Amino acid sequence: MEKAGRLATLIKIYTDKMEHAADYNEADKLRYELGDRVGELDPAEVQEEIIAYISENLVTKAWVHAHYWIGSVLNHPNPAYIEYLLQILDEEDANAPHYWALDAIEYMPEEMTELAIPGLKQRIEPMNPSWCHAVIEKYFETIVWNDDDAEGFISPLVDSPNEMVAFRAKYWMETFEVEREEDAEDED
């Protein structure tokens, strides 16, 4: 049996503690403590463990404590994760951590997120059928917050045959219009 890495050990210890926390505040404190402890680990070791975790779970579909594993990307961001995070988005298993993959991409340093934008744009049509409403919403949010041409990309999607995509596209186009109107008012 393979020896558990430091990240795996920390996630196991802290998820056990969180399950037995007296209340939400205690569990929340433990989540922050886990993040601090992950930040103290060697980035190369963390990267190796996270990539191995993602690779294994793309096969096994287990995704145990995925949000802690994927969230650890943000403690030691690296462009090497992007390919794996995009693979998660392609996973048609509804239990795959699509939302957390998008969250990691969205909050990585800007220069890394920009590397993921072309791959993200390729994944909306046809969209992964296992993406739920929250994932579609997170997808658009990630594009809007990180792509200078978000409006140009989103505008044709208002006519998407996928109702959820069209709904989110219309929402963002209306938001862009309201922001333009507010900016014009501020200039007056």
Q: Tokens 């939302």 appear where?
A: 99
**Closest by alpha carbon to 139, among 102, 176, 167, 172?**
102
Q: Residues 137, 154, 185, CA angle at the centre, nearest 5°?
A: 95
**Cα dihedral angle (44, 48, 53, 55), rounded to 10 degrees?**
130
Rounded to whole angstroms, what are the CA distances from 73 to 55, 84, 85? 14, 11, 10
Each residue's pLDDT tens digit, 122-149: 999 888 999 999 999 999 999 999 999 9
User: What is the per-residue pLDDT across 9-21, written as a single tens digit (0 to 9) for each?
Assistant: 999 999 999 999 9
Confidence band, pLDDT 50/70/90 cuts, at residue 1: very low
Mean of the pLDDT values across residues 32-57? Answer: 96
Higher pLDDT, 186 or 119: 119
Closest of 30, 33, 32 to residue 16, by C-alpha:
30
Q: pLDDT value at position 187?
A: 80
